[in-house]
Amino acid sequence: MRLGLLLLLSLLTTAPGVSAAELNIVRVWPSYRTAESFVRIAEYFGGAENSDRRIVLRSQPGERAGYYFLVRIANSGAARTGCTWQLQVIMPTARTPRAFTFPAELATGERVFELGLSGTDWPDARTEPVAWLLVLKTADGQELARQQSFLWERPPTPKS
């Protein structure tokens, strides 16, 4: 009886909300996309934008052209609502990062999100970010996953 109670208490105190094994950012593909790259044949016949089962979120919803972060995630845990993607980008023209937030509903299984910095939030097709950080958080601010570019963390400056 005592062993069973200890086992139950240890499970309750060590069970996290989401473990690293339950939610994983499989890959992030950053690249510029033109507005035309989103057009599918259904739109020519009066249909709405077809995202091909991808979840497309834009900083300026009315503008399609921009710099996108195509994010593939795998969620073997429970579905979650009210989550957010928090994206920080350092542009070639600035030293401080610009921050963007996108809503995220997480279903069980694999999903693809396209997080776009569109319209005036991205200067042009030739511009590349210097560095970026992408964090997925729960509604209460708990970090679920993180991915960043190589240059996001600068090496410490040597003391002279």
pTM exceeds 0.85: no
**Which are the contacts of 135, defined by CB distance < 8 A and separation ≥ 6?**
85, 86, 87, 143, 145, 146
C-alpha triplet 80, 84, 90: angle, nearest 5°: 150
Query: pLDDT, tens digit, for every residue of 74-118?
Result: 999 999 999 999 999 999 999 899 999 999 999 999 999 999 999
What's the pLDDT band for 154 if we cut at 50, 70, 90? confident
- Distances in Å between the alpha carbon of 26 and those of 30, 72, 74, 111, 131? 13, 5, 7, 10, 19
Domain boundaries, the chain: 18-151
CATH class, 18-151 region? mainly beta
